[in-house]
Chain A
Amino acid sequence: MTTTTHKHSSAALPPGGAGRPTGPGLTDRLSTVQRKDALTGYAFTAPTIIGFLVFVLGPLLAAFYLSLTKYNILTAPKFVGLDNYIRMFRDERLATTYGNTVLYVAAAVVLINGFALVFAVLINQRLPRALTYIFRSAYFFPYLVALVYVSIIWQALFQKDTGILNYYLAGMGGEKIDWLNSPEFSKVSVIIVDTWRNVGFSMLIFVAALQEVPKDMVEAARMDGANEWQVFRRIIIPMISQATFFNITITIIGAFQIYESIIVLTRGGPGDASRSVVMYIAEVAFNKFDMGYASAIAVTLFLIIMLVTMVQFRLRKSWVNNE
């Protein structure tokens, strides 16, 4: 290795211009450096790329292929074209579980982000530091705990005769609610737990965005006679639109995948009243071993999530205030 020459020649180059040839002899050496750099790049990224190919891209393509087959694990997959997709239109359980899931998504978008924004605005005021810290911690903590664990706690709180929730409801003159076993309230329970657990994360995103809003701008608007609502509506909301988009996307994607909270709370019941589409996919695939049909449903879920993400990115350009 001609370390010294290399050192000198590189030092003579303008910064960042390591790839620019200055003389015939140098070109060779630099391209060697470049080639080595490229090799290093591939070596450094190889584990990640292999993991991506084997555990993400490969399985994704396989899911598309399986969705066009009939496959029960025991015999080889049989190509059936679009049969599985056509079958979906006649599947009432799929309609029910997708309907439930869409309800969960709508509730998540409105409730998680609504509460998160309110709490973020409240927390973003000039409160004593310790207080801000305590609030932020309290709201964020449930997000770090496994959904399974918080659901285990909540299913105890939701019990009809022994649960705390009904005890306090009765104390306020309300009626006992069958949170986990009624067709309507089983869904409400799932939504409550989902909102409760995720509100803290969205709140933090909003808080971070609110802190980026230039105080001068807010102050100038107030001096021009804008009231608090006008400031919020005309300045704060546009300035945090990027965070809003992020939060909406995250909550939509998260709610479409809702699964373990329902398993713990209601097991999808009564009947299919609270079952999500992911629970249905798991049932079709791993209880009925109808892998082809389950893959087809999974593919629709993937397409929906991809569409949502892409729509968000598109809209982001037109909606988001980038000034």
Chain B
Amino acid sequence: MSEFSISAAPGRRTDNASRTDRKKPHRRRGLGKAVSVSLLVIGAVGMIAPFLWMFTTSLRDAGHAYDLPPQWLPTQWQWFNYADAVTGPVPILKNMLNSAVIAIAVSIGMIITAPMAGYAFAKLEFPGKTPIFVGLLSSLMVPAQVTIIPLFLLMRTFGLLDNPLSLILPGITGALGVFLLRQFFLGLPQEIIDAARMDGASAWQTYRLVALPLAKNAVSTLGVITFLGSWNAYFAPSIFLNSTETATLPLGLVLMLGPYGAGNVAQVMAATTIAIAPALIVFLVAQRWIIASLTQSAVKG
């Protein structure tokens, strides 16, 4: 069950750290550390500054949006840009609702289908298991741009263009989630499964009542990653959806920005601040899990 914790490594680090301390001269290391912290601070400022500028600009009236020298702290606390952004010609609230509906539907679908498949690939025996899994995995190599034209034609044939289903249906299954959950279930001791089966539980009951509850963290992580992926998506929505009413939030914001950034910057930044909020919340709540599950596949391979 240590699948999703990378906390084992820091523990080991402190063990060895004290040993290193005794043997190494302090002064040069201290200087090196000061330099590296400074570099890290410069980098971190560079990462955060654009977001800070976005937020403070969203609080200014349009006349001061491009004030130079740039003001990094809010000079005005004018929330009307937010009100104007959501009542402007682009129906940002409707777009946000569209995005939310699609992202929630896709996430729910994914956290139902991927754990089931991941469990089957990890714990059940059936003919063709390995080839099917390899085939699924290789779909990770297929870029969305290659399948987009046939998918567009498919959606068009079934009258699903300009309909959220064109994004929901392809989104509710996916190889990445299956892979992540398979990794988790592989780490689950077989005895737990066997014990449940011996007690007369059906395969479904074993999965639903024994295995799945243990995968709670992995499933939540998958849900969060899927939600964000859908919330942030631009390519497929930009091709399947073509009216402002059905547009998702990223499409709405690009519309609002207008060609060559001609839109009202303060309003655009207000809308962008709203659009970024879910990522910020996810980041604050679930950063640890996401980082752990994203890095484990790369390092443990």
- In the complex, per-residue mask of A275-315: 1 if CB is within 8 Å of any chain B CB, else 0: 00010011001100001001100110110011001000000
Q: Which of A47, A163, A259, A291 contacts B235 (CB 8 A)?
A: A259
Is the CB–CB distance between B116 and A47 below 8 Å? yes
Nearest CB in chain B to that of A124: its residue: B13
Q: Bound state CA distance, A147 and B276, in angstroms?
A: 11
Is the CB–CB distance between B234 and A146 below 8 Å? yes
Residues on A with beta carbons closer than 8 Å to the beta carbon of B19 = 219
Is the CB–CB distance between B50 and A153 below 8 Å? yes
- B1 at the A interface (CB under 8 A): no
Is the CB–CB distance between B146 and A145 below 8 Å? no
Question: CB within 8 Å of A: which of B45-62?
Answer: 46-48, 50-51, 53-54, 57
Q: Bound state CA distance, A3 and B198, in angstroms?
A: 8
Q: Bound state CA distance, A285 and B127, in angstroms?
A: 40
Q: Bound state CA distance, A131 and B41, in angstroms?
A: 10
- B92 at the A interface (CB under 8 A): no
Contact status of A205 and B298, CB under 8 A, knowing A44-B120, A153-B53: yes
- B2 at the A interface (CB under 8 A): no
Q: Nearest Cβ distance between residue B100 and chain A, in whole angstroms?
A: 14
Nearest CB in chain B to that of A306: its residue: B141
Nearest CB in chain A to that of B251: its residue: A148
Contact status of A148 and B114, CB under 8 A, knowing A38-B127, A55-B151, A153-B54: no
Contact status of A137 and B287, CB under 8 A, knowing A59-B154, A242-B299: yes
Which secondary structure dominates where chain A touches chain B?
helix
Question: CB within 8 Å of B: which of A120-175?
Answer: 122-123, 125-127, 131, 134-142, 144-150, 152-157, 159, 162-164, 167
Is the CB–CB distance between A305 and B173 below 8 Å? no
Is the CB–CB distance between A259 and B234 below 8 Å? yes
- B213 at the A interface (CB under 8 A): no
Q: Which of B139, B178, B254 contacts A263 (CB 8 A)?
A: B254
Which secondary structure dominates where chain B touches chain A?
helix
- In the complex, per-residue mask of B4-18: 1 if CB is within 8 Å of any chain A CB, else 0: 001001101100110
Residues on A with beta carbons closer than 8 Å to the beta carbon of B265 = 156
Is the CB–CB distance between B33 and A60 below 8 Å? no
Q: Which of A49, A51, A267 contacts B172 (CB 8 A)?
A: A51
Is the CB–CB distance between B116 and A138 below 8 Å? no
Q: Bound state CA distance, A138 and B48, in angstroms?
A: 6
- A108 at the B interface (CB under 8 A): no
Residues on B with beta carbons closer than 8 Å to the beta carbon of A39 = 126
Q: Bound state CA distance, A45 and B43, in angstroms?
A: 44
Is the CB–CB distance between B126 and A126 below 8 Å? no
Is the CB–CB distance between A56 and B142 below 8 Å? yes
- B209 at the A interface (CB under 8 A): no
- B219 at the A interface (CB under 8 A): no
- A234 at the B interface (CB under 8 A): no
Best-surrounded residue of B10, B116, B173, B269 (most CB of chain A within 10 A) = B173
A to B CB contacts below 8 Å, 23 in the list: A10-B198, A18-B194, A36-B203, A37-B126, A38-B124, A47-B116, A49-B136, A55-B169, A56-B142, A59-B150, A62-B153, A122-B39, A139-B44, A164-B70, A208-B299, A242-B298, A242-B301, A246-B301, A259-B235, A285-B148, A291-B149, A294-B149, A298-B146
Chain B residues proximal to chain A, CB less than 8 Å: 6, 9-10, 12-13, 16-17, 19-20, 23-24, 33, 36-37, 39-40, 43-44, 46-48, 50-51, 53-54, 57, 66, 68-70, 112-114, 116-117, 119-121, 124-127, 129, 132, 135-136, 139, 141-154, 156, 169-170, 172-175, 178, 190-191, 194, 197-200, 203-204, 207, 228, 231-235, 238-239, 250, 253-254, 257, 259-261, 265, 268-269, 272, 275-276, 279-280, 282-283, 287, 290-291, 294-296, 298-299, 301
